[in-house]
Amino acid sequence: MRLATKMLAGAAMASAMMATTAGAEVTLKVSHYLPSVHGIHTDFIVPWTEDITACTDGEVQFEIFPAGSQLGNVARQQEQVMAGVVDIANGLTGIPRGRFPRTSLIDMPFLTDDAGAATYALWELFPEYLAEEYQGVKVLALYAHNGGLLHTTGTKVETMEDMQGLRIRTPSPAVSEMLSALGADPQGLPPAEVYESLQRGVIDGTVFPWDPVKSFGLNEVLDYHLDLGAYTVSFFFVMNQRSYDGLSDKAKACVDQYSGDALVAKFGDWWDQWDAPGRADAEAAGHEISVLSDEQRAEWAEALQPMMASYLQSVKDQGVDNADEIYQAMKDTVAEYDAAHQ
C-alpha cells in the first residue's frame, strides 16, 4: 500500500510538473523587415501578439524585431525562422528569389490587383498546391498586397515605350521578368535601400503599392506615379514548427484562433487603409499620378503573354511540374472571389 501510495504521489507530482511546464510563461521572438510605423507592424503584428498574450492570460509574451533591428533583414526571414533564431517571421516570398516558386505564381502580371482576392486565392490553394514549400514551419497566414504602381523620379512613364532602359527596383522574380519584357532594367533591392538608391540616381524608379511609399518616405525622392495595377506580391507569416509544438495546448489554441482564416480575411481592408496615406502624400506634394486605361491594360497584358509563358516554363524547370495547373487554379479562385464581391 505504501509503495502504491508513493507511486501515486510520484505520478501526481510528475503531472503537476508537466502542467507547470505547459503553463510556464514563454517569450516568442517575432521578426519582420518593415519599419515600426508600417501598418503590418502597427495594425497586424502588434495587435496579433497582444491578442494571443491576452488569450493565454499572459502565458505567451512576444518580442518583436522590425526593420533596423538585428533580425529585421528581409532576405533572412525564412532562414531565421527555419533555424529557430526567431520563433515567428513575416517575409516576402520573392526575396531571396527562387525559394517559393509555387506561391510566387500569384505575382504574375495582371492576375489581380486586389489584396483581398490574391490573399483569398493563396489561402484557399495552400493545402493542395503550396504546402510543400513550407515544410518545417507552421503557416499562420499567406497574403498579398494591392496592385503595385510604377513610381519614378525625373522620368514620366505613360506608355510601354517610356519604360525602355529605366532601372527599376523589383520585389520578385515574376515582376523582374515583367519589367524586362517591358524594356526596363530590373534591380533587386530590399525595400529599405530604395530611398537612398533613388536619391543617388542608382535607380530611376521602383514598383510598390502605395503603402511602402509612405512608410519608407519615398515621396520625398519621387516625382511621378503610374497606376499599373499590373502585379501583386506575396508574403508569408510563419512559425517554427518546434516552437509551436512546444506550446501548451491552451497556447496552441490561442495561436490557431487568431491565425489562419480569421487573420487572412483582414488583409484586403488593411491594404486599402495602408495605401491611402501614401497616395495622399503624393497628391499633397503635387506629384503627377497617371492611371492606365482599360484599353492600355489590355495592350500591356497582351504584350506580356510571351513573358508569362516563359516564366511558367522557368517555374516548371525548378521542378514544379504542375505550374500551369496552379496558375489556372489561382486565376479561377481570384475570379470566384471577384464574383462574390461584386
Q: What is the pLDDT of residue 207?
A: 95
Share of the chain above pLDDT 70, in %: 93
pLDDT band, residue 85 (cuts 50/70/90): very high
The residue-averaged pLDDT of 88-111 equals 93
Q: What is the pLDDT of residue 252?
A: 98
Q: Is the pLDDT of residue 280 over 80?
A: yes
Long-range contacts (CB closer than 8 Å, 24 or more residues apart) made by 178-187: 178/109, 178/230, 178/231, 178/304, 178/307, 179/207, 180/307, 181/303, 181/304, 181/306, 181/307, 182/300, 182/303, 182/304
- In the chain, the amino acid numbered 291 is V
Q: Give per-residue pLDDT as tens, 196-245.
A: 999 999 999 999 999 989 989 999 999 999 998 888 999 999 999 999 99
Q: Give per-residue pLDDT as tens, 323-342.
A: 999 999 999 999 999 999 98
Q: What is the pLDDT of residue 2?
A: 42
Q: What is the pLDDT of residue 23?
A: 58
Share of the chain above pLDDT 90, in %: 84
The pTM is what? 0.87
Q: Could you give the domains of the chain?
A: 25-145+233-272 (3.40.190.170), 149-231+275-318 (3.40.190.170)
Q: Give per-residue pLDDT as tens, 26-44.
A: 999 999 999 998 999 999 9
What is the rounded average pLDDT for all residues in the chain?
A: 91
Q: Give per-residue pLDDT as tens, 156-176.
A: 999 999 999 999 999 888 899
Q: What is the pLDDT of residue 174?
A: 87
